[in-house]
Amino acid sequence: MPEGFRYSRRVAATEAELLDALRAGDEAAFAALVREYHPSLVRVARMYVSSPATAEEVAQETWLGVLNGLDRFEGRSSLKTWIFRILANIAKTRAVRDGRTLPFSALEDPARVPEPAVGADRFLDSEHPRWPGHWAVRPEPWPDDALLAAETRERLAEAIEALPATQRAVITLRDVEGWSSDEVRNALDLSETNQRVLLHRARSKVRAALESYLEPA
């Protein structure tokens, strides 16, 4: 189970206490919150802005926004959702100022542009008399020891880094951080379908990258 998942549940369970602690000026509580969400804030910000340095600035600015709004926060959404909404607003403003196209407005409906999970050359022709659309080159099981090697993990990280920004954000929040699909949809302002399409494409590409590493043709 990913680390972020357990932590998120713990934060959610004690959110009222956390808010009380923050409002009372508890620095340890604030530091814990920053450690929990700051890396994800930077990653989500990177979908909107061009450089890692700008993403870091946007994430830091988000915390100032959080502090400014904290006394007015009524808990109608979760604290996490609220923080990521603040981030999205700041990041969008920054992207517009820097003359960048917003990722999701440019790609409103990812489902409209097909992107196969597996290359067409891996399958038999749809006109094949006996096995239309069946595997021509079947995937082979991966050896456990190779799968768990440190180098495989590096390839995996590289494959995620190479994804388009929106896909990278979705797979990172869902599969690295262990967020629920609803949390990701709220933070990234995505429809349920688009969240799943982006997640599917990201996972499919990462699987393919692992395959080409683990079972070289």
Partner 1 sequence: MTVEFEQLSCRELVELVTDYLEGALAAEEHERVDRHLAVCRGCHTYVEQFRQTIELTGRLRVEDVSPEAELVLLDAFRAWHAA
What residues contact residue 155 under an 8 Å CB cut-off, 6+ apart? 209, 210, 213
Identity of the residue, 142 or 165, whose beta carbon is nearer to partner 1 in the bound complex:
142
What is the closest distance, in whole angstroms, from the C-beta atom of residue 155 to partner 1 in the complex? Answer: 10
Q: How far apart are CA 195 and CA 190, in angstroms?
A: 6
Cα dihedral 54, 60, 61, 66 sign: positive
Identity of the residue, 102 or 118, whose beta carbon is nearer to partner 1 in the bound complex:
118
Q: How far apart are CA 65 and CA 45, in angstroms?
A: 15
Identity of the residue, 75 or 133, whose beta carbon is nearer to partner 1 in the bound complex:
133
Interface ranges with partner 1 (CB under 8 A): 1-4, 25, 27, 30-31, 34-35, 38-40, 56, 59-60, 63-64, 67-68, 70, 116-118, 120, 123, 126, 130-135, 138-142, 147, 152-153, 156-157, 160, 171, 175-178, 181, 196, 199-200, 203-204, 206-207, 210-211
Identity of the residue, 74 or 127, whose beta carbon is nearer to partner 1 in the bound complex:
127
Q: How far apart are CA 13 and CA 10, in angstroms?
A: 5
The count of other CB atoms within 10 Å of the CB of residue 64 is: 11
